[in-house]
Amino acid sequence: MKLLILNGPNLNRLGKREPDVYGSKTLNDLESFLKKHGESANVRVTMKQSNWEGQIIDWIHDAENSYNGIIINPGAFTHYSYAIRDAVAGITLPVVEVHISNVHAREEFRKESVIAPVCVGQISGFGFEGYLMGMDYFIRREGHGTD
């Protein structure tokens, strides 16, 4: 099985940006953590990050023929990117939305996701573990991560 993990704007600043909210670990730490978990379950993980909406949309479109599912942390695009929402709605792959912080316990504007309604689910507030929860969903869905 192959999973694409997409991270949106400012997630390249993990470890430096608001460590009281997002923790002290970096995006590279997250990638290592997820790839290690993937290897133990026979899942190939590809992780990408962009601060550019169009790049994320292109990756979503391109994923349809190469991956079994997508885990996306859209960052701030969560709240207003109808373009990313439409890209997710326009593919047949299942998508899980993930957030490191509990967006529902933060500022009011963070509580609304325009992307979640076209995803199979949303995971919020469990730090890096939320990505693992998303991966485990796909592993169970696809039959224990076998190709």
Catalytic residue status for 61? no
Is 99 assigned a catalytic role?
yes
Per the structure block, which two tokens stand in for 57? Answer: 């949309």
From the candidates 61, 99, 104, 144, which is the catalytic residue?
99
Catalytically active residues are 22, 99
